[in-house]
Amino acid sequence: MSEIVKGRILKINILRFDPNEPKILPHMETFEIEEAYGMTLYIVLNMIREHHDNSLMFDFVCRAGICGSCSMLVNGRPTLACRTLTSKLDENISLAPLPLFKLIKDLSIYTGEWMRYLNEHLETWIHDQEQELNVDKLEERMDPDLADEIYELDRCVECGCCVAGCGTIQMRPNFKGAVGLNKVARYHLDPRDKRTDEEYYELVGDDDGVFGCMTLLGCEDVCPKDLPLQSKIAYLRRMMIKTAIKN
């Protein structure tokens, strides 16, 4: 449904739970909000907190799809609430926290712990292998097409939607997910990163890395930044197979 229906009353069903108060079991609460033109779920949730229940917890920072903090399940699908127009949805809307991440309360989750582990484990920074930092060194030129390709992958906002949308992670909790594999592909493309293929193989050449991906495609379906996750995972897989054959 794409056209706004004037005066629609939206029924927002929200999964409420506070892990600090486990005696109150998880339950759904419904709030009615009158729809307005151009309304997003960000606006809806703020209206609920302002006019109905100021204890409702959810996360937002940028309201523009940049910070990645407002990811949640909207009608069961992982997405960014600030980029979701109510006009695209039915009147009955269900909201729940993204699974797999640590729940803080209601719709608020802690993706930072997971992403930090991932970034530290995969060492997602340029390894130029220079011993000392030289601040006077001029930046090296990069082919503009390659720079664009790297920039495309750098648009990941670490929202966690691809993690929540991937069945493999349910079975393999240490699976690096599309977000991790995309980061590795990004650094492998970067000519300033001097890690060898063998070093990359050590990072993701196993079942918790690229060989654990079962090509379920949920990651690319739900990525709100439309990253080419599938082709980058395929690229990494080819690179890993070549490295394994070589050695």
Q: Which residues bind ligand F3S (CB under 6 A)?
A: 165-166, 168, 177-178, 213-219, 230, 233
The partner in contact with residue 65, picked from ligand F3S, ligand FES, ligand SF4, none with C-beta cut-offs of 5 to 8 angstroms by kind, is ligand FES
Provide the pairing of β-strand 9-16 with 92-96: parallel
Residue 33 or residue 210: which is nearer to ligand SF4 going by CB?
210
Q: At what angle do helices 197-204 and 229-246 cross, to 10 degrees?
A: 110
Residues 81-110 that bind ligand FES (CB under 6 A): 82
Q: Is 62 in the site for ligand FES (CB under 6 A)?
A: yes
Count of C-beta atoms within a 10 Å radius of residue 3: 7
The partner in contact with residue 166, picked from ligand F3S, ligand FES, ligand SF4, none with C-beta cut-offs of 5 to 8 angstroms by kind, is ligand F3S
Q: Is 178 in the site for ligand SF4 (CB under 6 A)?
A: yes
Q: Is 12 in the site for ligand SF4 (CB under 6 A)?
A: no
d(C-alpha 209, C-alpha 39), whole Å: 39
The partner in contact with residue 67, picked from ligand SF4, ligand FES, ligand F3S, none with C-beta cut-offs of 5 to 8 angstroms by kind, is ligand FES
Of 95, 162, 239, 240, the one binding ligand SF4 (CB under 6 A) is: 162
d(C-alpha 66, C-alpha 83), whole Å: 10
194 neighbors 128 (Cβ within 8 angstroms): yes
64 neighbors 157 (Cβ within 8 angstroms): no
229 neighbors 182 (Cβ within 8 angstroms): yes
Structure-token pair, residue 113: 């712990």
Q: Is 69 in the site for ligand FES (CB under 6 A)?
A: yes
Residue 241: phi, psi to the nearest 5? -65, -45
The residue assigned the tokens 């109510």 is 86
The partner in contact with residue 62, picked from ligand SF4, ligand F3S, ligand FES, none with C-beta cut-offs of 5 to 8 angstroms by kind, is ligand FES
Q: In what order do the strands lie in the sheet with 77-80?
A: 27-34, 9-16, 92-96, 71-74, 77-80
Considering the complex, what minimum distance in angstroms separates the CB of residue 246 from ligand SF4? 29
Considering the complex, what minimum distance in angstroms separates the CB of residue 4 from ligand F3S? 32
Q: Is 157 in the site for ligand SF4 (CB under 6 A)?
A: yes
Note the residue count of the chain.
247
Considering the complex, what minimum distance in angstroms separates the CB of residue 245 from ligand F3S? 22
Q: State the distance between the two ends of the chain, measured CA to CA, in whole angstroms.
A: 54
d(C-alpha 15, C-alpha 27), whole Å: 6
CA count, 13 A, side-chain hemisphere, 72: 29
Q: x-or-dash pattern for ligand SF4, window 91-130, by CB under 6 A?
A: ----------------------------------------
Q: Is 61 in the site for ligand FES (CB under 6 A)?
A: yes
Residues 205-224 that bind ligand SF4 (CB under 6 A): 223
Chain contacts with ligand FES (rule: CB under 6 A): 60-63, 65-70, 80, 82
